[in-house]
Amino acid sequence: MAMKHHPDRGGDEATFKKISEAYDVLSDPQKKQIVDMGGDPNGQSHHGGGFNQGPFEFHFNTGNMNDIFGNFGFGGFGGPRQMQRNKTINIGVDVTLEEVLTGKTLDAEITMPGGKTKLININIPPGINEGQQIRYSGMGDNSISHLPPGDLIVNIRIINHTEFRREGDSLVIEKQISVWDAILGCKLEILTLNGKNLEISIPAGTQSDTVLSCRNEGLPNMRSQARGNLLIKIRVSIPRNISTQQRSAIEQLKNEF
């Protein structure tokens, strides 16, 4: 009633004052005890099991006052409280790197605390990050009809990829080349996350752990949607077993450097 008659909401100031006075009486332990015993906290005439404040006559079971005022957003008698509502429901959703690239829409069946199920359409935007949460207001538990519905929180889990790993908005892939290709240079073909074939030129004399970059072939930034880069980390493979003839040839090359 205080919310309904609040002057800021267009209510009557005198009526709001009477409601506030009633609240003040019930929140005072001594006055509350008088009301519990059927008395008048202000020493005025009373009737019934409550007290009269102008046009409003209140008959409260004062043992439940915390619940009454708590449900309507008041602090209650034990201190400030948030408005009560149904429970928030948390679920986890697994997302592949391919789905991070493109985004994902799915229908999820949610089990409510009372055992009922609800079908929720979930939209996961491109560029979503591991551990990020998406909140759907009012889409959670609604088993208590007189309380506002709870929220649904979707917790994102990114599935590890077999070839690519994520570094921010960049994708990193490691490629091995032979020592001969590192010395002479070569071409590499790479299949990107969205299925595109890239031909990469490896310059002659490339060292192990060299990183080559392909612009705009990474993941989208969730806010700007600008794509990061594809980073290709080169690993040079050194042969463990060589023949006598190969060893001789390598030693000859070594002497020429």
196 in a domain, yes or no? Answer: yes
Q: What is the pLDDT of residue 137?
A: 93
Q: What is the pLDDT of residue 154?
A: 96
* Structure tokens, 89: 């429901």
- CA distance readout (Å), 240 to 135, 178, 179, 237, 246: 54, 12, 11, 9, 12
State the CATH number of the domain containing residue 207: 2.60.260.20
Q: How far apart are CA 145 and CA 64, in angstroms?
A: 19
252 in a domain, yes or no? Answer: no
Q: Are residues 171 and 120 in the same domain?
A: no
Domain that includes residue 16, residue range: 7-71
Please indicate, yes or no, whether the overall pTM of this predicted structure exceeds 0.75: no
Q: Residue 216 — pLDDT band, cuts 50, 70, 90?
A: very high
1 in a domain, yes or no? Answer: no
Last residue within a domain, chosen from 124, 158, 192: 158
Burial group, residue 252, by CB count within 10 angstroms (0-12, 13-18, 19+)? exposed
80 in a domain, yes or no? Answer: no
Q: Are residues 108 and 64 in the same domain?
A: no
Q: Are residues 145 and 171 in the same domain?
A: no
25 in a domain, yes or no? Answer: yes
Q: Are residues 65 and 11 in the same domain?
A: yes
Give the pLDDT confidence of 136-163 residue by residue, as tens digits.
999 999 888 899 999 999 999 999 999 9
40 in a domain, yes or no? Answer: yes
150 in a domain, yes or no? Answer: yes
2 in a domain, yes or no? Answer: no
- Whether 38 shows a pLDDT value over 70: the answer reads no
Report how many domains make up the chain. Answer: 3
- Across the strands, what pairs with 57? 52
Q: Residue 5 — pLDDT band, cuts 50, 70, 90?
A: confident
The mean pLDDT value for 192-199 works out to: 94
SS3 for 152? strand
